[in-house]
Amino acid sequence: MADINQKIFKAYDIRGIYPEEINEETAYRIAQAYVEFVQPKEVVLGKDVRLSSPSLWKAAAQGIIDAGVDVIDINTISTDMLYFSVAYYGFSGGITISASHNPVDYNGMKIVREKAIPLSSDAGLKDILQIVLKHKKILAKKKGRIVKKEITEDYINHVQSFIDISKIKPLQIVANANFGLAGEMLKKITRDMPLNIIGLNFSPDGSFPKGRPDPLIPQNREEVIKKIKETGADLGVAWDADADRCFFFDEAGEFIQGYFITALLAKTFLERYPGDKIIFDPRLTWANIDTVKENRGIPIINKSGHAFFKDRMRKEDALFAGEMSAHYYFRKNFYADNGMIPFLIMIEILSTSGKPLSKLVAPLKNKYFVSGEINREVANTQMILKEMEDRYSDATIEHIDGLSIEYHNWRFNLRPSNTEPLLRLNLEARSETLMEEKRDEVIAFIDRLEKKNVLF
């Protein structure tokens, strides 16, 4: 057996380049290690649309059944369908073969245990890696079986339960599936709704012919923006390749950040359940804190990342959570994130309010001025974080996730990437002028530190 590349074990999942970093042997060994660590009675096993996913799925399935455990085959899925399947049916564990929004040459594995509780670097993934490194093969006397299970209709009924379908009014919507499964599922989920869906890239294609399937990349939004302007659509929506994140565009084609969508959804939920808890990440916070408090809720800031959010959701029994990255979590969705539920709630909001999305988010955008996420490639992230903390030592400082610096009229969060030598900056201020001034100030300071580090 070849040595495994330990770098494929990330903070929340397993991900690497196929076949150099992750391949069939790797998938087999990880699946066996998962069985040894979790001790499941059965393992739900799904896959995304990537070209390498079927062969990795077969290898993982073989590792599981060789260990004497049954595989519940749920076929090609969105990642949120894995969470649903494990929690809804009461299975004791699950894996999906997926590299989410990464480029075509990547693949990976997202892993959960019972109740769709995720494994992360803080809770299980490091243990699984240590088992893999022992090169121990498990061959049970009685092999497991592969049992096919159809979950689509139950999944559709579940996500539809979050809205009152009778309230949905005729809307024209531009929807970009980015060649994942979202397009196929959207057609089924909205089949009884008076919606005119203008589909972009709806046919699943794991070669991702238009590039990396990630709507957070600005150039990947242009197709949706252009189509909204051409058609006069009421709303634009896009998903990443594994369809667990949901991105929105208003009727003018303007991309609406996940920060403001989180605040809008929090307001909607708190109108139904006042006094409940809402969780969000520390990158940008003021709009969420103010919105939650104004609507009699309890705001909670938590470390970014789906595994960390789900753990906190359970501990707090929180109603709803949202990240800037467009992951949205729901208590009634087993505390897990889902890519279709936010879309359904959004079309219900538009239908019942009679207002366009631009009008709904205008009070937020006119009060909280944000930089957008700015990435800087640096050689020594920890050195820069320390120097930055010293530079702004008179501020309120937090380390929930990276470094957060806050003054009464502006604040920023600076955090290192989990996978790349990057620092990610998000800054907000009480005025656009101040935001631009402080954004340029912080960027210039980072660049000076990096230049000094390179020279010396």
AA letter at 281? D
Which secondary structure element, helix H or strand E, spans residue 453, and what is its range?
helix 432-455
Sequential DSSP letters for 221-243: GHHHHHHHHHHT-SEEEEE-TTS
* 100 included as an active-site residue: yes
Contacts of the segment 121-128: beta carbons below 8 A, 24+ positions apart: 121/9, 121/10, 121/11, 121/12, 122/307, 122/308, 123/307, 123/311, 124/37, 124/38, 125/9, 125/10, 125/13, 125/14, 126/9, 127/37, 128/9, 128/30, 128/33, 128/34, 128/37
Sequential DSSP letters for 139-198: --SS---EEE---HHHHHHHHHTTS-GGGPPPEEEEEE-TTSSHHHHHHHHTTTS-EEEE
Sequential DSSP letters for 250-292: -TTS-EE-HHHHHHHHHHHHHHHSTT-EEEE-SSS-HHHHHHH
Active-site residue identified among 53, 78, 100, 351: 100
CA dist 66 to 135, 201, 259, 267, 381, Å? 15, 38, 45, 49, 43
Total Cβ atoms within 10 A of residue 390: 8
HSE-up (13 A, CA, CB side) for residue 263: 23
Q: Supply the residues annotated as catalytic.
A: 100
